[in-house]
Amino acid sequence: MQPQQSAVDVGDEQISHSDLEGFSKIHIDEVIEYVNSGLRSIPPPLDLYRRYLRQRWDVYELDFTQDRIDWAERMTDDELDVFQRVASGFHHGERNVEAELPTFMMGADEEDKVFISSHLEDEARHTVFFDRFFTEAVGLDEGSLMDVLDSSYELRSNAGPGVTGLLSYVSDELAKDPYNPRNRVRYATIYHLFIEGVGALSTMKITPGYCRRRGFLPAYYKGFTATCRDEARHVQYGMGFLQDSIRKAPALAEDVYEMLRTILDMNSANGNQASFEVLGLNTEEVRRFNIVQLTRKLADVGIPLPSDLQEVINRMYPEVTGG
Ligand SMILES: [Fe+2]
Ligand SMILES: [Fe+2]
Protein backbone atom coordinates (compact mmCIF):
# COMPACT_ATOMS: atom_id res chain seq x y z
CA MET A 1 0.00 0.00 0.00
CA GLN A 2 1.32 3.42 -0.93
CA PRO A 3 -0.45 6.57 0.26
CA GLN A 4 -1.78 8.50 -2.72
CA GLN A 5 0.24 11.50 -3.82
CA SER A 6 -2.55 13.83 -4.85
CA ALA A 7 -5.47 15.19 -2.86
CA VAL A 8 -8.68 13.19 -3.22
CA ASP A 9 -11.88 15.12 -2.64
CA VAL A 10 -14.02 13.07 -0.36
CA GLY A 11 -17.20 13.95 1.47
CA ASP A 12 -17.88 13.75 5.19
CA GLU A 13 -19.83 10.52 4.55
CA GLN A 14 -16.78 8.73 3.16
CA ILE A 15 -14.60 9.87 6.07
CA SER A 16 -17.30 8.97 8.55
CA HIS A 17 -17.61 5.39 7.24
CA SER A 18 -13.99 4.62 6.25
CA ASP A 19 -12.30 1.52 7.63
CA LEU A 20 -8.58 1.53 8.50
CA GLU A 21 -7.50 0.44 5.00
CA GLY A 22 -9.65 3.15 3.39
CA PHE A 23 -7.68 5.90 5.15
CA SER A 24 -4.76 5.33 2.77
CA LYS A 25 -6.94 6.98 0.07
CA ILE A 26 -8.14 9.92 2.16
CA HIS A 27 -6.18 13.15 2.46
CA ILE A 28 -5.29 14.20 6.03
CA ASP A 29 -6.45 17.79 5.29
CA GLU A 30 -9.96 16.50 4.50
CA VAL A 31 -10.10 14.73 7.87
CA ILE A 32 -8.89 17.87 9.69
CA GLU A 33 -11.71 19.82 8.01
CA TYR A 34 -14.16 17.05 9.00
CA VAL A 35 -13.43 17.85 12.67
CA ASN A 36 -14.83 21.35 12.16
CA SER A 37 -17.74 20.40 9.90
CA GLY A 38 -19.57 18.63 12.76
CA LEU A 39 -19.49 21.80 14.83
CA ARG A 40 -22.25 23.44 12.79
CA SER A 41 -24.73 21.47 14.87
CA ILE A 42 -23.13 19.63 17.76
CA PRO A 43 -24.54 16.13 18.37
CA PRO A 44 -25.54 15.14 21.94
CA PRO A 45 -23.16 12.83 23.89
CA LEU A 46 -25.06 9.58 23.22
CA ASP A 47 -25.10 10.26 19.44
CA LEU A 48 -21.33 10.77 19.59
CA TYR A 49 -21.05 7.52 21.55
CA ARG A 50 -22.97 5.65 18.81
CA ARG A 51 -20.64 7.15 16.23
CA TYR A 52 -17.67 5.95 18.30
CA LEU A 53 -19.00 2.35 18.25
CA ARG A 54 -19.18 2.51 14.46
CA GLN A 55 -15.82 4.25 13.91
CA ARG A 56 -13.66 2.38 16.43
CA TRP A 57 -10.62 0.83 14.73
CA ASP A 58 -8.24 -1.95 15.74
CA VAL A 59 -4.72 -0.62 16.38
CA TYR A 60 -3.34 -4.17 16.08
CA GLU A 61 -4.53 -4.45 12.45
CA LEU A 62 -1.72 -2.11 11.36
CA ASP A 63 1.39 -3.68 9.85
CA PHE A 64 4.54 -1.57 10.32
CA THR A 65 6.83 -3.77 8.13
CA GLN A 66 7.08 -1.23 5.27
CA ASP A 67 7.32 1.66 7.77
CA ARG A 68 10.40 0.07 9.32
CA ILE A 69 12.05 -0.20 5.88
CA ASP A 70 11.17 3.42 4.99
CA TRP A 71 12.49 4.62 8.36
CA ALA A 72 15.77 2.72 8.08
CA GLU A 73 16.51 3.24 4.37
CA ARG A 74 14.56 6.02 2.69
CA MET A 75 14.49 9.06 4.96
CA THR A 76 17.30 11.58 5.46
CA ASP A 77 18.81 12.23 8.90
CA ASP A 78 17.17 15.68 9.05
CA GLU A 79 13.76 14.23 8.14
CA LEU A 80 14.12 11.48 10.76
CA ASP A 81 15.09 14.05 13.37
CA VAL A 82 12.12 16.41 12.86
CA PHE A 83 9.64 13.56 12.28
CA GLN A 84 10.46 11.82 15.53
CA ARG A 85 10.34 15.09 17.48
CA VAL A 86 6.82 15.76 16.21
CA ALA A 87 5.69 12.13 16.71
CA SER A 88 7.14 12.17 20.24
CA GLY A 89 5.11 15.29 21.07
CA PHE A 90 1.96 13.38 20.08
CA HIS A 91 3.06 10.19 21.86
CA HIS A 92 3.36 12.07 25.16
CA GLY A 93 0.27 14.17 24.53
CA GLU A 94 -1.90 11.07 23.97
CA ARG A 95 -0.62 9.41 27.14
CA ASN A 96 -1.01 12.57 29.16
CA VAL A 97 -4.65 13.14 28.19
CA GLU A 98 -5.44 9.43 28.71
CA ALA A 99 -4.11 9.74 32.28
CA GLU A 100 -5.96 13.04 33.04
CA LEU A 101 -9.39 12.40 31.48
CA PRO A 102 -10.85 10.35 34.43
CA THR A 103 -10.82 13.52 36.59
CA PHE A 104 -13.20 15.19 34.11
CA MET A 105 -15.42 12.09 34.00
CA MET A 106 -15.99 12.10 37.78
CA GLY A 107 -18.31 15.12 37.90
CA ALA A 108 -20.03 14.54 34.53
CA ASP A 109 -23.74 13.82 33.85
CA GLU A 110 -24.60 10.16 33.13
CA GLU A 111 -24.91 10.60 29.32
CA ASP A 112 -21.61 12.45 29.33
CA LYS A 113 -19.94 9.67 31.35
CA VAL A 114 -20.92 7.13 28.66
CA PHE A 115 -19.32 9.28 25.94
CA ILE A 116 -16.22 10.08 28.03
CA SER A 117 -15.62 6.34 28.58
CA SER A 118 -15.32 5.99 24.78
CA HIS A 119 -13.10 9.07 24.59
CA LEU A 120 -10.81 7.53 27.21
CA GLU A 121 -10.59 4.30 25.19
CA ASP A 122 -9.71 6.33 22.06
CA GLU A 123 -6.82 8.02 23.87
CA ALA A 124 -5.54 4.69 25.24
CA ARG A 125 -5.62 3.31 21.65
CA HIS A 126 -3.76 6.38 20.35
CA THR A 127 -1.08 5.80 23.00
CA VAL A 128 -0.73 2.17 21.86
CA PHE A 129 -0.55 3.37 18.24
CA PHE A 130 2.46 5.60 18.98
CA ASP A 131 4.01 2.87 21.16
CA ARG A 132 3.80 0.48 18.19
CA PHE A 133 5.25 3.12 15.85
CA PHE A 134 8.22 3.82 18.12
CA THR A 135 8.98 0.16 18.79
CA GLU A 136 8.18 -1.40 15.39
CA ALA A 137 9.08 1.35 12.89
CA VAL A 138 11.65 3.50 14.71
CA GLY A 139 13.14 0.52 16.55
CA LEU A 140 13.05 1.71 20.18
CA ASP A 141 13.03 -1.77 21.65
CA GLU A 142 12.47 -0.85 25.27
CA GLY A 143 9.89 -3.18 26.85
CA SER A 144 7.00 -1.64 28.80
CA LEU A 145 4.80 1.25 27.62
CA MET A 146 6.47 3.51 30.19
CA ASP A 147 9.98 2.49 29.06
CA VAL A 148 9.14 3.46 25.48
CA LEU A 149 7.63 6.76 26.66
CA ASP A 150 10.80 7.49 28.65
CA SER A 151 12.93 6.87 25.55
CA SER A 152 10.77 8.89 23.17
CA TYR A 153 10.70 11.81 25.66
CA GLU A 154 14.38 12.40 24.91
CA LEU A 155 13.49 12.99 21.26
CA ARG A 156 11.12 15.91 21.88
CA SER A 157 12.31 19.24 20.50
CA ASN A 158 10.76 21.13 23.33
CA ALA A 159 10.96 18.88 26.36
CA GLY A 160 9.68 21.47 28.86
CA PRO A 161 6.35 20.90 30.62
CA GLY A 162 4.45 23.25 28.24
CA VAL A 163 0.72 23.11 27.87
CA THR A 164 0.45 19.44 28.92
CA GLY A 165 2.12 20.37 32.23
CA LEU A 166 -0.55 23.03 32.73
CA LEU A 167 -3.21 20.40 31.95
CA SER A 168 -1.83 18.26 34.80
CA TYR A 169 -2.14 21.23 37.16
CA VAL A 170 -5.73 21.98 36.07
CA SER A 171 -6.58 18.25 36.42
CA ASP A 172 -5.23 18.23 39.98
CA GLU A 173 -7.44 21.22 40.84
CA LEU A 174 -10.44 19.45 39.27
CA ALA A 175 -9.73 16.23 41.20
CA LYS A 176 -10.03 18.21 44.48
CA ASP A 177 -13.51 19.49 43.53
CA PRO A 178 -14.78 17.50 40.50
CA TYR A 179 -18.34 18.94 40.45
CA ASN A 180 -17.24 22.59 40.47
CA PRO A 181 -18.49 24.11 37.15
CA ARG A 182 -15.59 26.60 37.01
CA ASN A 183 -13.02 23.81 37.37
CA ARG A 184 -14.81 21.79 34.69
CA VAL A 185 -14.93 24.72 32.25
CA ARG A 186 -11.25 25.50 32.84
CA TYR A 187 -10.39 21.85 32.14
CA ALA A 188 -12.47 21.72 28.93
CA THR A 189 -10.86 24.98 27.77
CA ILE A 190 -7.29 23.74 28.06
CA TYR A 191 -8.00 20.19 26.96
CA HIS A 192 -10.92 20.03 24.53
CA LEU A 193 -10.65 23.54 23.11
CA PHE A 194 -6.91 24.24 23.11
CA ILE A 195 -4.97 20.94 23.14
CA GLU A 196 -7.37 18.96 20.95
CA GLY A 197 -9.15 21.70 19.01
CA VAL A 198 -6.17 23.94 18.25
CA GLY A 199 -2.71 22.49 19.06
CA ALA A 200 -3.24 18.91 17.90
CA LEU A 201 -5.34 19.89 14.90
CA SER A 202 -2.89 22.43 13.48
CA THR A 203 0.14 20.15 13.86
CA MET A 204 -1.67 16.98 12.75
CA LYS A 205 -1.07 17.75 9.09
CA ILE A 206 2.75 17.83 9.47
CA THR A 207 3.81 14.18 9.63
CA PRO A 208 0.94 12.59 7.61
CA GLY A 209 1.34 15.35 4.99
CA TYR A 210 4.99 14.34 4.61
CA CYS A 211 4.08 10.59 4.44
CA ARG A 212 1.52 11.29 1.76
CA ARG A 213 3.77 13.44 -0.43
CA ARG A 214 6.65 10.97 -0.27
CA GLY A 215 4.64 7.73 -0.22
CA PHE A 216 6.41 6.68 3.02
CA LEU A 217 5.26 5.06 6.29
CA PRO A 218 1.87 3.65 5.17
CA ALA A 219 0.83 2.18 8.55
CA TYR A 220 1.67 5.44 10.33
CA TYR A 221 -0.39 7.37 7.76
CA LYS A 222 -3.46 5.17 8.17
CA GLY A 223 -3.28 5.06 11.97
CA PHE A 224 -2.69 8.78 12.33
CA THR A 225 -5.52 9.68 9.93
CA ALA A 226 -7.90 7.39 11.84
CA THR A 227 -6.69 9.12 15.04
CA CYS A 228 -7.60 12.48 13.52
CA ARG A 229 -11.15 11.25 12.81
CA ASP A 230 -11.45 10.23 16.48
CA GLU A 231 -10.49 13.79 17.43
CA ALA A 232 -13.61 15.06 15.63
CA ARG A 233 -15.79 13.34 18.27
CA HIS A 234 -13.67 14.66 21.15
CA VAL A 235 -13.60 18.25 19.92
CA GLN A 236 -17.34 18.25 19.11
CA TYR A 237 -18.18 16.90 22.56
CA GLY A 238 -15.93 19.50 24.24
CA MET A 239 -17.37 22.44 22.29
CA GLY A 240 -20.90 21.21 23.12
CA PHE A 241 -19.97 21.00 26.80
CA LEU A 242 -18.58 24.56 26.85
CA GLN A 243 -21.53 25.96 24.86
CA ASP A 244 -23.97 24.34 27.28
CA SER A 245 -22.10 25.41 30.43
CA ILE A 246 -21.91 29.06 29.32
CA ARG A 247 -25.55 29.08 28.23
CA LYS A 248 -26.52 27.99 31.75
CA ALA A 249 -24.09 30.37 33.51
CA PRO A 250 -22.76 33.16 31.20
CA ALA A 251 -20.18 34.29 33.81
CA LEU A 252 -18.22 31.09 33.03
CA ALA A 253 -17.05 32.73 29.77
CA GLU A 254 -14.60 34.64 31.97
CA ASP A 255 -13.00 31.31 33.02
CA VAL A 256 -12.50 30.41 29.36
CA TYR A 257 -10.76 33.76 28.76
CA GLU A 258 -8.60 33.46 31.89
CA MET A 259 -7.48 29.95 30.94
CA LEU A 260 -6.62 31.09 27.42
CA ARG A 261 -4.63 34.06 28.75
CA THR A 262 -2.52 31.66 30.87
CA ILE A 263 -1.97 29.27 27.95
CA LEU A 264 -1.03 32.05 25.52
CA ASP A 265 1.32 33.68 28.04
CA MET A 266 3.17 30.36 28.27
CA ASN A 267 3.14 30.05 24.49
CA SER A 268 4.71 33.49 23.95
CA ALA A 269 7.27 33.00 26.76
CA ASN A 270 8.50 29.85 25.08
CA GLY A 271 10.86 31.03 22.34
CA ASN A 272 11.91 27.55 21.22
CA GLN A 273 9.81 27.36 18.09
CA ALA A 274 9.75 24.15 16.17
CA SER A 275 10.47 24.29 12.43
CA PHE A 276 8.70 21.90 10.10
CA GLU A 277 10.26 23.04 6.82
CA VAL A 278 12.36 19.88 6.45
CA LEU A 279 9.12 17.84 6.22
CA GLY A 280 7.88 20.14 3.46
CA LEU A 281 5.58 22.30 5.55
CA ASN A 282 5.80 26.05 5.82
CA THR A 283 5.96 26.90 9.54
CA GLU A 284 4.22 30.25 8.95
CA GLU A 285 1.33 28.39 7.28
CA VAL A 286 0.98 26.14 10.34
CA ARG A 287 1.06 29.24 12.55
CA ARG A 288 -1.75 30.89 10.61
CA PHE A 289 -3.78 27.67 10.66
CA ASN A 290 -3.31 27.66 14.45
CA ILE A 291 -4.83 31.14 14.73
CA VAL A 292 -7.78 30.25 12.49
CA GLN A 293 -8.51 27.14 14.59
CA LEU A 294 -8.59 29.07 17.87
CA THR A 295 -10.76 31.87 16.47
CA ARG A 296 -13.17 29.28 15.01
CA LYS A 297 -13.42 27.37 18.29
CA LEU A 298 -14.40 30.48 20.25
CA ALA A 299 -17.06 31.22 17.63
CA ASP A 300 -18.32 27.62 18.02
CA VAL A 301 -18.59 28.08 21.78
CA GLY A 302 -20.51 31.27 21.00
CA ILE A 303 -18.45 33.84 22.92
CA PRO A 304 -16.77 36.96 21.55
CA LEU A 305 -13.02 37.42 21.53
CA PRO A 306 -11.76 40.20 23.87
CA SER A 307 -9.29 42.57 22.15
CA ASP A 308 -6.34 41.72 24.47
CA LEU A 309 -6.72 38.04 23.57
CA GLN A 310 -6.99 38.80 19.86
CA GLU A 311 -3.63 40.56 20.04
CA VAL A 312 -1.89 37.64 21.74
CA ILE A 313 -3.55 35.14 19.40
CA ASN A 314 -2.08 36.97 16.41
CA ARG A 315 1.41 36.28 17.79
CA MET A 316 0.93 32.62 18.79
CA TYR A 317 2.99 29.87 17.21
CA PRO A 318 2.41 26.14 16.74
CA GLU A 319 3.03 23.83 19.69
CA VAL A 320 3.12 20.10 19.05
CA THR A 321 0.85 18.25 21.42
CA GLY A 322 -1.36 15.25 20.92
CA GLY A 323 -4.87 14.91 22.24
FE1 LIG B 1 -8.43 13.26 21.60
FE1 LIG C 1 -5.82 11.28 20.91
The pLDDT value recorded for residue 2 is: 43
Size of the chain, expressed as the number of residues it contains = 323
pLDDT tens, residue by residue, 263-312: 888 876 655 455 678 888 777 787 788 888 888 889 889 898 888 888 88
53 to 15, 35, 173, 230: CA distances (angstroms): 15, 17, 32, 11
DSSP string, 145-202: HHHHHHHHHTT-SS-S-HHHHHHHHHHHHHHHSTT-HHHHHHHHIIIIIIIIIIIIHH
274's torsion region: left (phi>0), alpha (psi -120 to 50) or beta? beta
The pLDDT value recorded for residue 159 is: 44
131 CA from centroid of ligand 2 (Å): 13
322 CA from centroid of ligand 2 (Å): 6
Residue 26 and residue 15 in contact, taking contact as beta carbons nearer than 8 Å: yes
pLDDT tens, residue by residue, 167-182: 889 999 999 999 999 9
What whole-number distance in Å separates Cα of residue 149 and Cα of residue 59? 18
- Please tell me what DSSP assigns to residue 42: P
302's torsion region: left (phi>0), alpha (psi -120 to 50) or beta? left
User: By three-state DSSP, how is residue 246 classified?
Assistant: helix
162 CA from centroid of ligand 2 (Å): 17
The pLDDT value recorded for residue 320 is: 64
225 CA from centroid of ligand 2 (Å): 11
The least confident of 41-50, 95-104, 244-253, 255-264 is 95-104
Mean pLDDT computed over 151-160: 66
Closest ligand to the CA of 195: 1
The pLDDT value recorded for residue 283 is: 76
The architecture CATH gives domain 46-314:
Orthogonal Bundle (1.10)
pLDDT tens, residue by residue, 57-66: 999 999 999 9
For the question of whether the overall pTM of this predicted structure is more than 0.85, the answer is yes
Closest ligand to the CA of 127: 2
322 CA from centroid of ligand 1 (Å): 7
Closest ligand to the CA of 129: 2
Measure the CA angle with vertex 42, ends 39 and 46; round to 5°.
140
206 CA from centroid of ligand 1 (Å): 17
294 to 28, 183, 190: CA distances (angstroms): 19, 21, 12
187 CA from centroid of ligand 1 (Å): 14
Contacts of 123 (CB under 8 A, 6+ apart): 94, 97, 98, 101, 323
